[in-house]
Structure 1
Amino acid sequence: MTTIAPQRPPAARPEPPPAPAGRRPRRRWPADRAAHAALLAGTALLYLWGLGASGWGNSFYAAAAQAGSQSWTAFLFGASDAAGSITVDKPPLSVWPMALSVRLFGLSSWSVLVPQALMGVASVALLVALVRRVTGNRWAGLLAGLVLALTPVAVLMFRFDNPDALLTLLLVGAAWATVRALESPRALRWLVLGGALLGLAFLTKTLQAFLVVPGLVAAYAVFATVPWRRRVGHLLAAAAAMVVAGGWWVALVELWPAGSRPYIGGSQTNSFLELTFGYNGFGRLTGDETGSVGGGMGWGTTGVWRLFGSENGGQVAWLLPAALVLGVAALVWGSRPVRAASTVMLGWLVVTGATFSLMAGIYHAYYTVVLAPAIGALVALGAWVLWRRRDSLTATALLGFTVALTAAWSFVLLDRTPDWLPWLRYAIATVGFAAALLIVGARLLPRRFTAVVAAAALVASLAGPAAYAVSTAATPHTGSIPTAGPSSASGPGGMPGGMPGGTPGGGAGGLLDASTPSSDLTALLLQDADAYDWVAATVGSQSAAGYQLATERSVMPIGGFNGSDPSPTLAEFQALVEAGRIHWFIGSGQGQGGGPGGGFGPGGGTSSEIATWVAESFTAQTVDGVTLYDLTA
């Protein structure tokens, strides 16, 4: 018979001394949680501070948000104007949060731009969660989030109303869901969520969303713990979710009668599929973009070094070399979850970076914002893996080399703006090289001193992008091609960072900048405004956007963004005028490259025909330097 010995009661722990009467005992908040809260609060401050100084940001999208706040039909299709003449040249998902914000809070710079800033904070929070999950270390996650938050082009685009802010958030969400799928018994559920987020990303910026797919698929195919047949089935289910989430709107547009919806801006045949695979798709790769302004604006030199050149380097490439080195280190020495996440992010970075480097069509440096999450994650994953192995000379040597490489590259980037903070590059080089040498010998240093060395290396690595980030947040940005960094940094075509949008007084605007009508001109456009579907029409979306935002009434953008879309035709425009649906035609300042009133590309002839017919058929008058024609006279 087995005898069960009596168990001893656990030793009583000494009771803590009682708190003084009237006072509760203090609880210390863990340092990593405090740092997490500080990171998110600091990111919000950086992205929101002085946001209203940028006005409408990109008036092209701000006008679509204003239109969507007034008309649910314009909202659904992403129309440039509430009367629904033509859409923006992208799917409408990025416009919807802004339109809802304007509908709730009224039209203002803040209601248009704040949603982008909140998307930036959410992107940082998701990236922190992703890296923390695979490493089990909050500090590693915080490093990834800090790198993303301080990337200059991220500061630019999370304070701007282009589609790139929402695209970045959705891609980070898809990566996070894929990583969750790799470790969860409910893998299918998470993978389907990732596919759905990619479908929504497609409805934000079409095919660019799919550049991250190779990395996501490779990670799940290699590192998932389920049998191969289930892996294939899960990936097919995720692909189906992607098609459904992104395809419902495409099917709606293609099946909707073309005559009762807005014209698809950016296309030549009123087809979203043409827009997707042509102007916004393969045309971006080959440079053969029907309806585009072509290479005349200077889209930069293609090649493998494009991301490191003067156009892109200061925007995103500060830690790009480090991300490649540390990403490989994480792939070689990391745990299985770390190697899986590194596969996701290396695939994201390499495929997207190679596409940007080699594409011959329309390209702007701000596109590179989608590289920032991958760079941040790879830097954090690799640094964490090597720092844990700091008893190894190989690990510390590689980590020290990365810090020295980053300091040297920061010196090169800062030397491109020699008159801006000229001392900073020397300080970074001094601290960075000293920290790199000490890191190599970290295994011989006292533990407290190694923490100081690590902090010095972090400061030296992030000082350059942080300075550019603060400069970016302090500079208003408007127009169509904003750039990050100090004002002396050159953007595409030699245009300064933060291109001022519009022209003073009654300027009619142009291809890249919105119009800024005077108060007298605005008052004239508002006369009897309720009697017309469009208070005015003008060539080009940016010019129309300024008038529309000033009046909060529909202004028809003839020819879409470039003035090159064949919408409306001359006959259609004449019919609208005869029906009394358009009050004014604004004709001055519209001669960008296509003659007076003309646009670019094949459709430019249509807008030229309309402008010529108006000039021949109606009497011109001038208000504050702007030529107008009363189409009802």
Structure 2
Amino acid sequence: MAAVLYGWGIGHAAVHPYYSAAVRSMGTSWHAFVYGGLDPSGSITVDKIPGALWPQALSVRVFGAHAWAVALPQVVQGVLTVAVLHRTVRSWAGPVAALIAAATLTVTPVAVVLDRHSIPDTLLTLLLVCAAGALHKAVRTGRLLPLLTCALWVGLAFQAKMLQAWLLLPVFAAVYQLAAPGTWVRRARRLALAGAVSFAVSVTWLLLVWATPAAHRPYVDGSTDNSPWSMVFGYNGVSRFGGSQHALGAVAGTAASRTTGNTGWTMLVNHTVGPQIAWFLPLAALAAVTGVLWRAGMPRTDPLRAGFLLWGGWVLLHVLVFSLSSGNHGYYTVVLAPALAALAGGGVAGFWVEYRAGGPRRAALPVALGVTVLWSAVLHAPHRAFAPWLLPTVLMLGLCGVLGLWAAGPRSTRRSVKGALVAGIVATLLAPATWAVASLDPSYAGSAMSPLAGPVGTAYTTMREGGTTAAVGLNQPSARDTALLGYLTAHRGGAKYLLATQAAYSAEPLLRARAQPVLVMGGFTGLTPFPTASGLSALVTSHELRFALLTSKRPATPATAWIKSHCAHVLPRVYGRTSEGNFRLYDCATAR
């Protein structure tokens, strides 16, 4: 089911315009591949560690420059995440819990819409689930190798999305120290060793870039000092939490690189983010609390309680970070999906055991299912015009399931009790599954920049009001870009670069259309101090660069000022346009 949901129609996948431009370049040039170059010449890197883009670039190199080739690794990673979670939960809480967890993750709307995209969070989530599985094994067996494997997975996850991979280290360390066999000194020593392994793997790419002479690698985007450490710990670290905009040598963020919405303590349940991820929050919370409290008298090394601590800590820590950060895209929350799914599976399986055993805890199962169904109604109510049949169906199924379980007595048949349980579980899964399946329709899949499932987000609003969203693909230039590329190619005159652009925003459609060297001035934000005005002048003088494309949508820099004062404006009719819009083309041949 995951393979169908994630892979259906990927021939029309809407890939991220910035990342897919880099992926095409990295799939063309091994130099750009290793260093994460945004263009094939490797003039400047992407503004993140390129680990999550490597599988996509390899796919493009093998299968060609197609949108589906970019999305294919994401589909595989999403399906693997479901499989790894199933295996992990099975060893922790049994086959019933594993099946429920796998189904829950599969139909989580944000997971479905993101696993059909090209954003790094998909690989991050897979690697962290692998790390959690290894930690479960380390706690259960007391062996060192699984703990070091967990550290390895976290280090690889750092290559996918940097510091976010380290968020779970305190949770992993606390659970291991609390629940693993052996003396506390032995456990602490092993954690120290695992921490060293995780750090060493995490900084591998940083050390490679740092040790490579600047003349032999791309400029590091997001930094004022061409340092990978500034890009990771400043631009993608401290500045994300409202710190100094130039912290640790970072470039200041702009509206193009920072989102200011979806923050605060209610972000996970607002009308946009809630339907993406929050369907199972009440069930997960009940499972985590009861899973710990009900096993209070068990030995310290009880693996079932350790699992509830691990998955519950995973959710709690991410809720805190998302709530305190300066802004989040809705799709960031996909990292919560495996933990919520594991808690849902482990919780329902545990509640079912207590239900069959009788006693006061018997009521936990119908209460948990009933609360989850009511919560589904709360999340869907603001959007009840979308799938109007959904709300009454969920409530009716939930009512049948809850009442059937509550009223079941000693004379009730086993089949009727199981039927009520199935009805309750289906009621909890139906609403998120409906939102997830809806995202197969591009009208309900968000935008290329911000994928969201269902009738939410600016892309959905635009299309509902009769507008259209820009299609993003590879080898599919618009008529306007085709005319510009034809003019540049015909008049390039042997220059190294096809042209220079002001920020990645201007370069993206050209890089996706053709894998040609483009000097991306200012990087993603347009504020990165590369190239300098003198460096740009040297490129023009040495005949390595002739044309430059500037835009009014990015801030001016010394390099763009030099172009305006030294280069000739090219009228749009010369290269097949009727108007310039936000762009102006300059010819610097006369500046030589």
TM value normalised by structure 2: 0.89
Structure 2 residue 259 is matched with structure 1 residue 292: no
Given candidates 54, 66, 70, the residue that maps to 2:24 is: 66
Aligned length: 567
Cα deviation for residue 213 of structure 1 reads: 1.5
Deviations 1:396-452 (A, max 9, x none): 322222212211221122122232111211221222133223223445432111111
Tell me whether 370-379 or 248-257 shows the greater mean CA deviation: 248-257
Partner of 2:150: 194
User: Partner of 2:382: helix, strand, or coil?
Assistant: coil
Whether the 8 Å CA contact 1:287–1:359 is kept in 2: the answer is no
2:557 aligns with 605
Q: Map 1:94-243 to 2 at 5 A.
A: 94-135=52-93, 137-184=94-141, 187-243=143-199
Match of 1:483 in 2: 451
Compute the displacement of 1:495 (Å). 7.0
Taking only the aligned residue pairs, the percentage that are identical comes to: 33
Which structure 1 residue ranges, 5 or more long, are not aligned? Answer: 1-41, 505-513, 593-597
Residue by residue, what CA displacement relative to the aligned partner does 1:21-51 show, whole Å, maximum 9, x if unpaired? xxxxxxxxxxxxxxxxxxxxx1111111111
Q: Flag the 1:354–1:48 CA change in 2: closer, same or farther, 3 A.
A: same
Unaligned runs of 5+ residues in structure 2 are 247-251
Matches within 5 A, 1:135-534: 135=93, 137-184=94-141, 187-286=143-242, 288-290=244-246, 291-293=252-254, 299-300=260-261, 302-333=263-294, 336-360=302-326, 362-390=327-355, 391-442=357-408, 444=410, 445-475=412-442, 481-486=449-454, 488-490=455-457, 502=470, 517-527=480-490, 531-534=494-497
- Aligned equivalent of 1:54: 13
* Paired position in structure 2 for 1:21: none
Q: Distance in 2 between matches of 1:463 and 1:287?
A: 42
Change (3 A) 1:52 1:529: farther
Matched residues in 1 for 2:211 and 2:452: separation? 41
Q: Distance in 2 between matches of 1:191 and 1:530?
A: 58
Describe the superposition over 1:55-98 as per-residue Cα deviations: whole angstroms up to 9, x where unpaired. 4x112111211111222221111110111111111101111111
> Per the alignment, do residues 298 and 519 of structure 1 end up closer, same or farther by CA in structure 2, a change over 3 Å counting?
closer
| Mapped partners of 2:471, 2:140: distance in 1 | 55
What's the CA shift for 1:393?
4.6
CA contact (8 A) 2:254 2:525 kept: yes
Deviations 1:251-271 (A, max 9, x none): 122222223211111222222
Q: Cα offset for 1:133?
A: 0.4
- Answer yes or no: is the 8 Å Cα contact 1:67–1:79 preserved in 2: yes
Pick closer, same or farther for the CA change 1:86–1:419 going to 2, 3 Å. same
CA drift at 1:286:
2.0
1:507 matched residue in structure 2: none
One-letter identity of the residue aligned with 2:9: G
What is the alpha-carbon distance in structure 2 between the residues aligned to residue 114 and residue 139 of structure 1? 30
> Which residue in the other structure is 1:579 paired with?
542
Going from structure 1 to structure 2, the CA distance change for 1:74 and 1:236 (only over 3 Å counts) comes to: same
CA deviations 1:188-236 (Å, max 9, x no partner) are: 1111011011111111111111111122112111111122222112111
Which is higher, the Rg of structure 1 or of structure 2? 1
CA 1:208–1:527 in structure 2 vs 1: closer, same or farther (change >3 Å)?
Answer: same
Code of the aligned partner of 1:345: W
Q: Which secondary structure does the structure 1 equivalent of 2:548 belong to?
A: strand
- TM superposition shift of 1:558: 1.6
Q: Counterpart of 1:48 in structure 2: which amino acid?
A: G
Contact 1:567–1:606 (CA<8 Å) still a contact in 2?
Answer: no
**Higher relative contact order at CA 8 Å, sep ≥6: structure 1 or structure 2?**
2
**Root-mean-square deviation (CA), in Å?**
2.7
Q: Higher mean Cα deviation, 100-109 or 468-477?
A: 468-477
Q: What is the alpha-carbon distance in structure 2 between the residues aligned to residue 382 and residue 333 of structure 1?
A: 12
Structure 2 CA distance for partners of 1:570 and 1:620, relative to 1, 3 Å: farther
1:319-355 CA-partner distances (Å, limit 9, x unpaired): 1121111122222336822211111111111001110
CA–CA distance in 1 between the matches of 2:332 and 2:482? 36
- Partner SS state of residue 289, structure 1: coil
Distance change >3 Å, CA 301–CA 377, structure 1 → 2: closer
Partner amino acid, structure 2, of 1:458: I
The DSSP-based 3-state class of the residue aligned with 1:93 is helix
1-side partners of 2:447 and 2:521: how far apart?
19
Q: Paired residue for 2:511?
A: 548
For residues 84 and 295 of structure 1, the distance between their equivalents in structure 2, rounded to whole angstroms, comes to 22
Residues 515 and 544, structure 1, Cα contact 8 Å, conserved in 2: no
1:617–1:521 Cα change, 3 Å = closer
CA distance in 1, matches of 2:323, 2:459: 14
Contact 2:372 2:428 in 1 (8 A): yes
- Mark the CA change 1:447 to 1:490 in structure 2 (over 3 Å): closer, same or farther: same
Q: Is the 8 A contact 1:89 1:265 kept in 2?
A: yes
- Residue type of the alignment partner of 1:93: G
Cα distance change, pair 298–552 in 1 and its aligned pair in 2 (3 A): closer
Distance (Å, rounded) in 1 between the aligned partners of 2:245 and 2:111: 27
- 1:495 and 1:234 mapped to 2: Cα distance? 54
Within 5 Å, which residues of 2 pair with 1:86-97?
86-97=44-55
Q: 1:214 to 1:612 in 2, by over 3 A?
A: same
Query: Equivalent residue of 2:586, what SS?
Result: strand
Q: What letter is aligned with 1:370?
A: V
Distance 1:222 1:475, change over 3 A: same
Give 3-state SS (helix, strand or coil) of 1:568's partner. Answer: coil
1:3 aligned partner: none
Query: What SS does the corresponding residue of 1:160 show, helix, strand or coil?
Result: coil
SS in 2 for 1:556: strand
**Helix, strand or coil at the partner of 1:79:** coil
SS at structure 1 position matched to 2:50? coil
